[in-house]
Structure 1
Amino acid sequence: MPAQPDLRSSEPQRGGLSATQQALDAQTALLPYALAVFTVSLPAYVWAGSHAPNAVWMSATFAIFAAAWAAFYGAVNWLKKPEAATDLKMRGRVQIFCALIWALAVGQIAFFADGAGAAREPLLLTAVAAAVVVIFFASPWLPSLLIVGPAAAAGPLIALFAQPETRELASLSWGAIALSMALALIFNRVLRRQFEMAAERETLIADRAGMVEAARRLAQSKSDLVATLSHEIRNGLTGVAHVLAAAAGRNGRGAPSREQLSAALDAANDLISVLNTTLDSETAEAGRLSVEARPFDAVNLLRDLVLLNRPNATAKGLELALHVSDDLASAKTGAALADAHRARQILANLIGNAVKFTVRGRVEARIEQTLSGRIAIEIADTGPGLAAEEMERAFEPFLRVERTSAGTSGAGLGLSLSRQLARLMGGDLTAHSAVGVGSCFRLELPYDPEATAEREVVQAEVSTTPDPADRKALRVLIAEDDGLNAAMLRAVLEQLGHHVVHAVDGRRAFELAKAIEFDLIMIDGRMPNMDGPQTIAAIRALTGHGGQPPIIAVIGGDAEEAMDCTAAGADAVLRKPVSVGAVARAVADAISAGRSEPENRVVA
């Protein structure tokens, strides 16, 4: 049997049939008709063969014909089975085999006709007609046509050209078969074009269905986003509004108590956390969230977070422990390769969740190096635990496990965002849990044992402000076009003991910097007239002291905005929303670095 062609199609397979599969389907649809044609032609062949002198050989020919018919019938039945539709290579072999059966049957008819005496020419012409029929039924699929067509025509043509008295008839037969092949090739080309158009149509339909599904998911995501934010914002702002109303004396009662103020502050911080997580999640969902992998000390980062969360754990009567493997504790080199800010975000969420949902017992943070050369950080707790289906739900955006999260705030985005961030950094976030026992979340990140950790770009948030005795009052220029943001930043700076001058846009800030010597300048990254990078560059171009004061860029969190500001000459980058601790660190870093140190810092 001839070598089989490779049936792997390079055409698109999304949502529809390839041209190859459609050609095989068309040929399969014709096989029963081929069976019928050969069955109807059998009486004419028997009549012509009855005039042959060798009755024994004619009987053998009929037996061979019947065997070919039976094999062909069995193959047609196999092609009707479901498994035949999935394996194109096997299906192509079977269909070529079916066609070759009839090509060989035509050959044996020609061989029988060559010795049929007076019936030789009618039988050979019958064989030529049978070859033309085989060529027609093989035409939908090009490999079958190219293999089977010549094989079917070979027997009758050889027999006709073998005898001098039939060579003229052989030439006519050769022309008829050549014309049949040409027409079959044209027919095949038309069919292939139709198959390609059908495949493209199926692909377009599949693409449209995918776009519709993506639009549906996006609409559902937006609906979940609005519902979540509406709930969280309404609850948080309602609590804050009640406390502010009490402070303003509008409810006829006295000033709010420290507990009420603390509850309002917690509600406001929870609201900020929900908004930040939601924005990050939507950015990640849109594929616009970027991470910057650099070596950082994961052990110190985890130790800082444990110290930061220990007061909350102690207040609930929980033990919060840290375990560092011996190899990491004794290593003089080695660093995790990831975005330190995003790694902190993931671990802060995991430790915060463990403390939040654990009622009694302990929370343990463990860090070790894996056998595969990565670094693994596990946060285990003795909380309520989750069943397998609840754990899957916990990692879905905007979905919360009601059994464990009732009465707690949150958007249901922390774990899904954390997993997205981990995978963006080349790691992964997995978990296992048991109901009534506890949960363990495992973060794996790339690790280089030879790398040296860079100075951390994000530090733990502090809850207290520096002692006024240790502070030096600075003359600070802030450039901010948003009145509320400017008031917040001014209040924080004045709380730190500094003197503030406010410019409403970049151009005004530049004019003030030319006229007055400031100790520090804080510039918003996005402003009218002159934006942050333009203003920073213009101030740096000033001669004398005017171009030398430290500059802090205050941005909304966009990585491209941060790079533009640092490239223009900012000494530090402060992300909104600002807090007292973050501003204090940014001011201290900018003053200490000045213009002598090329490395810029980013403070959350």
Structure 2
Amino acid sequence: MNAFNPNLSRTPAPLPRGASRDSVVLDYGLIAQWRLAPYALGFFGMGLPLFLWTTQVALPVWLTGLFMLLFIINWTVFMIMKGQTARRMTPVPVPDAAIRRALIRERLWRQWLAGGLWTLTLLAISLSIGAGPHTATLLLLCAGAAVGIIFFSAPVLLFLLTLGPLAAAGPVFALYHLDSSGTLAQPMIGGMALALAMAFILNRHMQEHYLLENAQLDAALEREAIRADTEALNEARVALMETLSREVQSGLKGVEQNLLQGLTHLTRAPAPRQYVDAALAEITHLQTILVTTLDNDTAAAGQIEIDLQPLDIELLAERLMAQFADLARTRGLAITCNMQGLPTEGAVRGDEHRVEQILAHLLSNALLYTQQGRVELKLLHLPEGYLRIEVVDSGPGLSEDELALAFAPHSRILRTSSGHSGAGLGLSLSRSLSELMGGRTGAESTLDVGSKFWLDLPFDRHAKAPPRPAEPEVDETAPDHSLRILLIANDSLRAAQLRDVLEHQGHKCLTSTTRERALTLARKAPVDACLISTGPFEALEDAANREKLAAWLESLRATQADAHLNIIALLPDGLQAEALSELGVRALLMPLNREALVRALA
């Protein structure tokens, strides 16, 4: 419940750290008394009919009317004070201790004044009662009201010490004055003393409750602050890793492209080509480590996204077999795939990219650490609703302690990994990814015999695997003679890559970096096609830009009046494809698909 907000369904905010015991007790006591206001209204409502009936037969009419006027004034003042007190309650801890103390003091005096008005009214009613046949009944009602004031004052010790005795004094004094025999006075004194004693016990109990509640809320806020700091730290770490990965990947990609470009000119130089191949292999390895490290930190922070879909696990296995066939052949290992345990109906559910990432790591580990023998990918259906994908090798094997260490992050088995670089995150990441997909990973191993690592994925008997992509059709009608292609590219590296691709297909290239230079070249030599790779075009929704591009295209086509000029543009996205199509330009999306380029040129 929120002590500092009229909405009573929330939790109160603790006082600032270092607040004294008295401050905590007073603040929470005022809150508890403020919450008793609805019950005080109910208490008054139940006693009012009996009070009115008694005063009609025991008091003059004018005095009864005066008491009712006092009740109206008291309730009006009480409700005003209650509303002002609610507005001064804060829903969150106030960092300034002086401001917090000032708010507490203001609420203290407002609530004390509201309670004091009712106490003085009760005292006035008690002292104005004269002798009569119903005097005892009316004084007993006043005594009950005094007990109510004592109870509603119990949450705050100051109110209990001041308002409680004053409320009890009126009925007791009036009864002693009107009942000389003391028949009712003595029991009333005993009852008032008992009520005050019980109120003091209740106040003591509530003080301990106030301190305990404040300590619990303080601890909860501290835990929440620690959790928020931890989340912020994880987010910052992931952001840093993403930035570093992106920047390093960009640098490595540039080096890789330059090496690939240079590799095309080293076909007759075995030694330099070997060095370039080694550099490219190392770049690929570094990129793999970067991706694995980033994914591991993202998974640990709970920020990795998983897209669970029915998978064609057979197609995925075939793709992995083709991917690792060359590596197995170079290491002299046999690699096989056993799908006899694959059910004929149903499909596994998982994230295709993540499943392939896990299995690729298990297969690469098996091929890397196995010196001779075989590696097998095996599919088994488990009765508990999983499909198990096993990677079995005839490698050196692991002991139980080494097997447990293998799944720990940043841990590597020195006995088997000596001479092999890596971050020691692959198996840890695989386990995290499998759990996010509702699966599991595990392993069994025997020293000097081999190891078996597996991935279990949920299997749905009623799911259907997605349809396989259609095989790309080869256009057999494409001309077998070379084309003369005008290449327009404003990036030298990209121009060299495209020229290498086109010349590898048997075409001849003229290269230009600007449209004006391209027109000059087209006027001097016959051209069959024009390939434009300058990134996005100018904003074609602008009529002026569209007319300017259309005029240039018309000029380009005019240079080849005797032939139909095929104009192709490579675009980073498809936003301008429709506009270019209307101008007679065919758009291809990047990254470049060589089969699509062949068909476009044909």
Q: What TM-score, normalized to structure 1? A: 0.50
Amino acid corresponding to residue 271 of structure 2 in structure 1: P
Q: CA deviation at 1:355?
A: 0.5
1:218-233 paired onto structure 2 within 5 Å: none
The residue aligned with 1:444 is 456
Query: How many angstroms apart in 1 are the aligned matches of 2:237 and 2:227?
Result: 15
Describe the shift of the 1:241–1:500 C-alpha distance in structure 2 as closer, same or farther (beyond 3 A): closer
Q: CA deviation at 1:238?
A: 11
Q: CA deviation at 1:391?
A: 3.2
Q: CA deviation at 1:364?
A: 1.2
1:455-534 paired onto structure 2 within 5 Å: 455-456=467-468, 492=501, 495=504, 500-507=531-538, 521-524=569-572, 532=573
Does the 8 A contact of 2:234 with 2:301 survive in 1?
Answer: no
The residue aligned with 2:56 is none
Query: How many angstroms apart in 2 are the aligned matches of 1:476 and 1:417?
Result: 48
Describe the shift of the 1:353–1:255 C-alpha distance in structure 2 as closer, same or farther (beyond 3 A): closer
Find the partner of 2:438 among 423, 426, 442: 426
1:535-559 deviations in whole A, cap 9, x for unaligned? x234335663658x464355xxxxx
Q: Which moved more, 1:485-494 or 1:446-455?
A: 485-494
Query: How many angstroms apart in 2 are the aligned matches of 1:494 and 1:246?
Result: 15
The residue aligned with 2:292 is 277
Find the partner of 2:397 among 381, 385, 392: 385
Amino acid corresponding to residue 196 of structure 1 in structure 2: E
1:29-83 deviations in whole A, cap 9, x for unaligned? xxxxxxxxxxxxxxxxxxxxxxxxxxxxxxxxxxxxxxxxxxxxxxxxxxxxxxx
Q: CA deviation at 1:402?
A: 2.6
Amino acid corresponding to residue 188 of structure 2 in structure 1: S
Query: How many angstroms apart in 2 are the aligned matches of 1:349 and 1:320?
Result: 15
Q: CA deviation at 1:502?
A: 1.8
Does the 8 A contact of 1:474 with 1:519 survive in 2?
Answer: no
RMSD, aligned α-carbons: 5.4
Q: What TM-score, normalized to structure 2? A: 0.50
The residue aligned with 2:213 is 196
Q: CA deviation at 1:301?
A: 1.4
Query: How many angstroms apart in 2 are the aligned matches of 1:486 and 1:246?
Result: 16
Query: How many angstroms apart in 1 are the aligned matches of 2:392 and 2:271?
Result: 38
**5+ unaligned residues in a row in structure 2: which ranges?**
1-8, 12-153, 156-180, 508-529, 554-564
1:530-569 paired onto structure 2 within 5 Å: 532=573, 536-540=574-578, 544=582, 546=584, 549=586, 551-554=588-591
Query: How many angstroms apart in 1 are the aligned matches of 2:200 and 2:506?
Result: 94
Does the 8 A contact of 2:337 with 2:378 survive in 1?
Answer: yes
Q: Is 1:350 aligned to 2:362, yes or no? A: yes
Q: CA deviation at 1:351?
A: 0.9
Q: CA deviation at 1:267?
A: 1.9
**5+ unaligned residues in a row in structure 1: which ranges?**
1-9, 13-138, 141-163, 460-465, 525-531, 555-573, 575-582, 593-604
The residue aligned with 1:297 is 312
1:191-214 deviations in whole A, cap 9, x for unaligned? 433322211222233344456666
Query: How many angstroms apart in 2 are the aligned matches of 1:213 and 1:174?
Result: 58
Does the 8 A contact of 2:338 with 2:376 survive in 1?
Answer: yes
Q: CA deviation at 1:304?
A: 2.5
Describe the shift of the 1:452–1:474 C-alpha distance in structure 2 as closer, same or farther (beyond 3 A): farther
Amino acid corresponding to residue 280 of structure 1 in structure 2: D
Q: Is 1:413 aligned to 2:430, yes or no? A: no
Q: How many residues matched? A: 384
Amino acid corresponding to residue 439 of structure 1 in structure 2: S
The residue aligned with 1:314 is 329
Query: How many angstroms apart in 1 are the aligned matches of 2:491 and 2:207?
Result: 67
Does the 8 A contact of 2:535 with 2:571 survive in 1?
Answer: no
The residue aligned with 2:371 is 359
Q: CA deviation at 1:376?
A: 1.3
Q: CA deviation at 1:492?
A: 5.0
Q: CA deviation at 1:224?
A: 10
The residue aligned with 2:200 is 183
Q: CA deviation at 1:470?
A: 7.9
Structure 1 SS opposite 2:575: helix
The residue aligned with 1:337 is 349
1:411-444 deviations in whole A, cap 9, x for unaligned? 3332233223323323222223333332221112
Query: How many angstroms apart in 1 are the aligned matches of 2:236 and 2:582?
Result: 56
Query: How many angstroms apart in 1 are the aligned matches of 2:199 and 2:531?
Result: 90
- Sequence identity (%): 31
Structure 2 SS opposite 1:171: helix
Does the 8 A contact of 1:322 with 1:364 survive in 2?
Answer: yes
The residue aligned with 2:387 is 375
